[in-house]
Amino acid sequence: MMAFNRSFLSLFALVSLLTNISSTLAFPSYSSLAGLSEREVEELVARLPQVLPPNPPGPLEFNGTKLVNDRDHPWKPLQKGDIRGPCPGLNTLASHGYLPRDGVATPTQIIQAVQEGFNMDSGTARFVTYAAHLVDGNLVTDLLSIGGKTKKTGADPPPPAIVGGLNTHSVFEGDSSMTRGDDFFGDNHSFNQTLFDQFVDYSNRFGGGFYNLTVAAELRHRRIEESIATNPQFDFTSPRFFTAFAESTFPYTFFVDGRISDRTSAGLDMPNATLFFRDSKFPNDFWRPPAPTGGTGALEIFSAYPIAAGRNINGVNTFTPDPTSADFSNICLLYTNFVNRTVKGLYPDPKGVLRRNLIINLGYFYDAFGAADTCPEQFPYGTL
Ligand code: HEM
Ligand SMILES: *[C@@H]1O[C@H](CO)[C@@H](O)[C@H](O)[C@H]1NC(C)=O
Ligand SMILES: *[C@@H]1O[C@H](CO)[C@@H](O)[C@H](O)[C@H]1NC(C)=O
Ligand SMILES: *[C@@H]1O[C@H](CO)[C@@H](O)[C@H](O)[C@H]1NC(C)=O
Ligand SMILES: *[C@@H]1O[C@H](CO)[C@@H](O)[C@H](O)[C@H]1NC(C)=O
Ligand SMILES: *[C@@H]1O[C@H](CO)[C@@H](O)[C@H](O)[C@H]1NC(C)=O
Ligand SMILES: CC(=O)N[C@H]1CO[C@H](CO)[C@@H](O)[C@@H]1O
């Protein structure tokens, strides 16, 4: 009996040792370390390249319009293992080689690619990229995947990362996207033809066949109403509250040819929209916007159908405002809650290189936010 117990125990020890080793050996270098135990993080950090996050790249030298679907950046179909995610902008940049085609990139590569390929302005590019990297990236290797997600455990705040990446729900990716379903319904990041048909229908009804600001306001309202009525876990608090309105401006801001004037009202036609959203593809002869931009019109879209930041608290149709969430009347809270709640919730007590890189990336994020006069910097992990 003793012997049996002992061998059983040592077999158990061996199996758990092997499982542990294989789970850390199989761990991709771009996966988020959020939610792992101190010991798991230590084991992984010892094996991973430890990168000192470089200063963010600066703005473009030439910031006018130009052909970006050029000979040096041909569209190529996906190869086995290539990662794509919920963002049609980043998917397109990867499929044209402005980003590594496998969909794994550093923040520096992402900031350069969105500036070069879409003329996104430096402040917006840095703000969005470091926000995404802080919650979905690997802060030790300085890599982020543009898709891939965290395994769900039902935990709140967000669960342990198994894969990480931009598909991870509730920290950046969120509900009521235009062309992607809510996470609650299973697939949270793939192109959804039914939702795209609705995008086309709204563009026909409110934009004469083009997605412009008027369509953006109607469709944003519609998607919010659908989520309230069908998704018992619908969450429309910050940061999703902001990214939803911002992303509604992106199609007419970034996907319309830079040689077209008054793009906010002219809008995006459906053949070109299909290429970007479904195929991750620039139209032939596509020129980027004429000047650096972060998208305009988010406040107009919000104002057409104002709604408080909030969530369904007890099943469908129980949408309730959350006064602790940031909204358009308190933008500083967007920064403060993101740092103090979201990031701190993912990394309650980081050590060593992980803590160092969190502090550095939080600094880049704060610089990008650009509100030093009205919104004090937070230091949840102290300073270096
Ligand atoms: C700067 C780095 C960027 C990051 C980290 C990023 C990340 C994301 C993420 C995580 C989503 C999913 C949010 C959701 O709907 O749940 C998203 C959506 C979206 N992104 Fe990006 N993005 C970036 C830049 C861009 C650019 C440059 C464009 C346009 C050229 C773009 C266009 C869009 C659009 C249109 C959506 C909404 C998709 C939909 O609602 O169906 N993004 N992005
Ligand atoms: C675009 O480049 C011009 C010329 O270098 C510069 O004066 C201008 O400030 C730049 N615009 C932005 C928004 O960076
Ligand atoms: C796409 O979205 C529609 C509407 O929300 C949903 O009914 C459908 O199941 C989704 N399709 C897929 C393939 O996920
Ligand atoms: C969007 O297009 C429709 C149809 O042409 C037009 O009535 C509307 O004024 C446009 N919206 C804007 C903001 O220009
Ligand atoms: C589609 O994109 C191309 C390339 O940017 C542009 O020339 C064209 O005007 C766009 N719209 C239509 C209706 O083709
Ligand atoms: C952020 O959290 C720290 C403690 O971690 C606290 O001292 C600080 O007051 C918080 N900031 C805000 C604005 O709530
Ligand atoms: C919750 C969840 O993981 N949902 C889905 C996200 O999308 C992938 C790919 O379609 C599904 O496998 C997941 O089940």
Among the residue ranges 46-50, 108-112, 210-214, the one predicted with the least confidence is 46-50
Q: Whose CA is nearest to atom 6 of ligand 5?
A: 257
Question: Can you state the angle between helices 193-207 and 213-230, rounded to 10 degrees?
Answer: 140
Query: What is the pLDDT at residue 17?
Result: 45
Length of the chain: 384
**159 pLDDT above the threshold of 50:** no
pLDDT level of residue 37 (50, 70, 90 thresholds)? confident
Q: Whose CA is nearest to atom 11 of ligand 7?
A: 187
Environment class of residue 283 by beta-carbon count within 10 Å: exposed (0-12), middle (13-18) or buried (19+)?
Answer: middle
pLDDT level of residue 26 (50, 70, 90 thresholds)? confident
Query: What is the pLDDT at residue 172?
Result: 82
Angle, CA 349 vertex, CA 347 and CA 355 arms, to 5° = 75
Q: How far apart are CA 279 and CA 76, in angstroms?
A: 10
Q: How far is the CA of 91 from the centre of ligand 1 (A)?
A: 9
pLDDT level of residue 3 (50, 70, 90 thresholds)? very low
Q: For residue 102, what are the contacts with CB-CB under 8 A and spacing of at least 6?
A: 79, 81, 82, 83, 94
**132 pLDDT above the threshold of 80:** yes
**9 pLDDT above the threshold of 50:** no
Query: What is the pLDDT at residue 162?
Result: 43
pLDDT digit string, tens, across residues 203-247: 999 999 999 999 999 999 999 999 999 999 999 999 999 999 999
Domains of the chain, residue spans: 28-368
Q: How far apart are CA 260 and CA 65, in angstroms?
A: 10
Higher pLDDT, 1 or 368: 368
- Ligand 1, residues at Cβ distance < 6 Å: 86-90, 110, 114, 118, 120, 125, 128-129, 132, 166, 172-174, 177-180, 243, 247, 250-251, 254
pLDDT digit string, tens, across residues 344-379: 999 999 999 999 999 999 999 999 999 988 999 999
Query: What is the pLDDT at residue 186?
Result: 76
Question: Can you state the angle between helices 270-279 and 88-95, rounded to 10 degrees?
Answer: 80
pLDDT digit string, tens, across residues 261-310: 999 999 999 999 999 999 999 999 999 999 999 999 999 999 999 999 99
Picking from 111, 163, 110, 155, the residue whose alpha carbon sits closest to that of residue 136 is: 163
Query: What is the pLDDT at residue 163?
Result: 54
**52 pLDDT above the threshold of 90:** yes
Looking only at the bridges linking them, the beta strands covering 210-211 and 310-312 are unpaired
Quote the mean pLDDT of the chain: 90
Query: What is the pLDDT at residue 164?
Result: 64
Environment class of residue 137 by beta-carbon count within 10 Å: exposed (0-12), middle (13-18) or buried (19+)?
Answer: buried
- The architecture of the domain spanning 28-368 is Orthogonal Bundle (1.10)
Mean pLDDT, rounded, for 250-269? 97
Q: How far is the CA of 207 from the centre of ligand 5 (A)?
A: 16
**4 pLDDT above the threshold of 50:** no
Contact 106, 112 (CB under 8 A): no
Ligand index nearest the alpha carbon of residue 188: 7
- Ligand 5, residues at Cβ distance < 6 Å: 257, 269, 272, 283, 285-286
Element (H, E) at 319: strand 319-321
pLDDT level of residue 15 (50, 70, 90 thresholds)? very low
pTM recorded for the entire structure: 0.91
Among the residue ranges 27-36, 113-122, 197-206, 298-307, the one predicted with the least confidence is 27-36
Query: What is the pLDDT at residue 2?
Result: 42
For the chain, the C-alpha Rg in angstroms (whole number) is 22
Ligand 4 pocket mutation, candidates 204, 205, 214, 256, criterion most atoms within 8 A of CB: 214
Query: What is the pLDDT at residue 155?
Result: 37
**22 pLDDT above the threshold of 70:** no
Among the residue ranges 72-81, 85-94, 164-173, the one predicted with the least confidence is 164-173
Query: What is the pLDDT at residue 24?
Result: 62
